[in-house]
Amino acid sequence: MQSLNVENIDSIRGDENKGIFLTNKECKLLFSHKDIFIFGAGVEGENFWKDLSECINILAYIDNNRSGESFFFHGKPIISLEQCMDMRNNKQPIVITSFRYAIDIYKQLEKMGLLPGHDFYIWDEICIFHYDDLTKKYIKFLKEVWGKYKIKNAKGKIIMPFFHNHEVLWTTILAYCSNYFADKYNAEINAYFWYNLDNSKASKVIWDIYKAFNVESLIDSTKLNKIQQEEADGLCDSVWNTLSTWEDWKNITIFGINFGTSIIRDLLRFHVPCFEPKAKKMYKFLKETIQNIVFWYHYISENDIKVVLLLDGVSRDGYIRDIAITKGIPAYILCAGRMAKATLNYCERPSYPFFKKMWSELTQEEQEYGIKWAKDRIKKRLDGKLEDVNIIDRPNFSFGEGKNGTRVLSDSDKIKIIICPHRFEEDCYPYGEQIFDNNYFEWLCHLGELSEKTPDYEWYIKLHPTAQGRDTIIIDMLLERFPKITKLPIHVSPVQLKEEGAGFALTVHGTIGHEYPEIGIQVINAGINPHCAFDFNWNPKTKEEYDNLIFNLDKLDKKVNQEELYQFYSLNYLFYDWEYIPHHKLFVNNPLLTLNRLQLEASGKKVGTWQYEEYMKEWTIEKHKKIFMQLEEIFRKLDEWKPDLLYKRENCMGSKLDE
């Protein structure tokens, strides 16, 4: 059960076997206008398709878990490895596109008798598994900066995440905060593999970076001793026997801690869910989850843990988070949209239910200015302007779409409902409790059932503009089961939908809640959402109330409360200081270094080792000392932060916001 050192693990990493690791340039040289198979239909498979599909013909995607169920990915079938072997009549090469499972897949292909560097390769455009010169330089730099901070004869432990990523902001935040607490508590720094994989899957390249800022060992949370394994098996069978509905999943309690919502968040963020909560593959997922919970419960109980540092504090982090908190150990989220002190069932923005109260705390002058400002900014937003749009959503912002020359809704007098699903790659619990057991998928399935019961309505679904591969797989699976729902083009303007007769839009908590009402489409939410303190959306509190609204759409009075919409908009985008804790700007100067993977892609760039060079250029010993001096104040602020307090931006009525 104790920590294992990655140095002792034999795996396919580093400079050895370099010929199997391919960048985009090498892929083009080898495979241009040729047929290949891709092993991996996740985020990396998506990125490979974006980068290279124009010059390389992908025959199919191989997936060990999703084949054989009529799944497609970018129009190509998802097949099993066995199916691929039958199809490789011309010995077409296989390219592995997975950072998490690359080494497992490598070994799987070797067992099939395939030769690395001939029959198969690993796509490694961003140098996760092989070094480039910038990474080597960065590792040397980190050793010089952090070597003198190494704790000798440590008494306690700091736990922090290990993540396969070159986002230098994350490395920087983790380095400063872990060494700050190590010094404060005379503790050693230990990392856990965020993907919940055994240590043999860890990249030696990334591990060398972590060691350079004094991380001592990598905790292998997959290694349970015999007693723990028996305990996990018994708990799994006991819990499984209680599960019949998604509500049962939400209520899963182990060791007196309700893990249900964290389990659902984990499931939806990384897996394709099943229609049946008791499907066979759900048992496998539950078993792996409970093993993880059992490991962490004992590890945290049996070690002197001083502080837990978390990546984003949700999904797999959630198990560690809630165990630590129930044992009185402080846990902090460092690498999400904001730094925060973790709470049980943590959500990133719990302040929205208090927004109406916060509005009353503004001065009359501020309120008048806010209303005027919001009127202007909302108009610009609906005209396709991007000032207040999340950078991830900007390239595909719906209100920036021109009108489609072809009608997309039927020309009938029936009530037309637009379902607006969320992205499954994101955390599904950002604001708090939801009607449908904190489960996007349950919500969508329930809407599918309602579509069967409402012949006088027309049901449509419009994918999120930034939907990725797994979103399409899940939605297509849903539409096959509920054919009365029609899939709309992803690039269609909401203005066009309104003109063609759309009357209602359904979301759990989306931004359509402050966009669609302004063009005359009524929005019905399904949980705590940014607009829940106001009265310009419909906010049912129970499943029964939700269904009553849906069945009586023709009797609903229209929600028209523009004044409150403007109040919300100005609070959210003008007055409330979402960076009250100076997160990004404290650690880096270059704006590009503050962007995560999705934000960089939206800006036309990618995560890569170029970030190391940019960071080293701006680093100074003066700034280094300044950050360390500020950390005590930062964590004091995190400890004292409250969701019901208005943290107001400085100079929020300044001239810059009028531009």
Same domain, 530 and 402: yes
Q: Are residues 444 and 427 in the same domain?
A: yes
Q: Are residues 382 and 498 in the same domain?
A: yes
pLDDT value of position 15: 44
Are residues 352 and 644 in contact, defined by beta-carbon separation less than 8 angstroms? no
**What's the pLDDT band for 463 if we cut at 50, 70, 90?**
very high
Q: Could you tell me which of 268, 248, 252, 270 has the C-alpha nearest to residue 260?
A: 252
Domain C-terminal end among 508, 543, 575: 575
511 and 383, same structural domain?
yes
Of the residues 575, 601, 621, which one is the last residue of a structural domain?
575
Tally Cβ neighbours within 10 Å of residue 403.
11
267-284 average pLDDT score: 93
Q: Is the pTM of this model over 0.75?
A: yes
Q: Which of 85-99, 343-357, 437-451 has the lowest mean pLDDT?
A: 85-99
User: How far apart, in Å, are the Cα atoms of 561 and each of 518, 536, 556, 626?
Assistant: 10, 5, 15, 47
Query: Is 50 exceeded by the pLDDT of residue 9?
Result: no
Please indicate, yes or no, whether residues 601 and 612 belong to a single structural domain of this protein. Answer: yes
Domain that holds residue 110: 24-123
Picking from 575, 602, 630, the residue at the C-terminal end of a domain is 575
Per the domain annotation, does 196 fall within a domain? yes
Give the pLDDT band of residue 393 (cuts 50, 70, 90).
confident
* Domain-embedded: residue 18: no
Let me know whether 508 and 618 are in one domain.
no
Query: Distances from the Cα of 71 to the Cαs of 50, 340, 478, in angstroms?
Result: 19, 39, 12
CATH at 96? 3.40.50.720
Residues 3 and 89 in one domain: no
**Distance linking the first and last C-alpha atoms of the chain:** 58
The answer to whether residue 658 scores a pLDDT higher than 60 is no
- Check whether residue 69 and residue 217 sit in a common domain: no
503 by Cβ neighbours in 10 Å (0-12 / 13-18 / 19+) ranks as buried
In a domain, 159, yes or no: yes
Specify whether 234 is located in the same domain as 194: no
In whole angstroms, what is the distance from residue 101 CA to residue 279 CA?
24
Residue 98: exposed, middle, or buried by beta-carbon count in 10 A (0-12, 13-18, 19+)? buried
- Domain total in the chain: 4
Question: Tens of pLDDT along 299-310?
Answer: 999 999 999 999
Residues forming beta bridges with residue 332, ordered by sequence position: 309, 341
pLDDT band at 69 (very low <50, low <70, confident <90, very high): low
Average pLDDT, the chain: 91
Q: Is the pLDDT of residue 652 over 50?
A: yes
Q: Are residues 142 and 286 in the same domain?
A: no
Instruction: Report helix, strand or coil for 161.
Output: strand
| Report for 270-279, 323-332, 555-564: range of highest mean pLDDT | 323-332
Structure tokens at 443: 């919500």
Q: Which residue has the higher pLDDT, 506 or 67?
A: 506
423 in a structural domain? yes
Classify residue 19: in a domain, yes or no. no
Residue 203 resides in a domain: yes
| Beta strand residue intervals within 163-283, DSSP E | 187-193, 215-219, 253-254, 257-258
R_g of the chain computed on alpha carbons: 25
Query: Is 314 part of any domain?
Result: yes
- Residues 646, 522 share a domain: no
Per-residue pLDDT tens digits for 592-623? 998 887 788 878 888 889 999 999 999 999 99
Same domain, 3 and 144: yes
Coil/strand/helix, residue 351: coil
- Token pair listed for 448: 């599918």
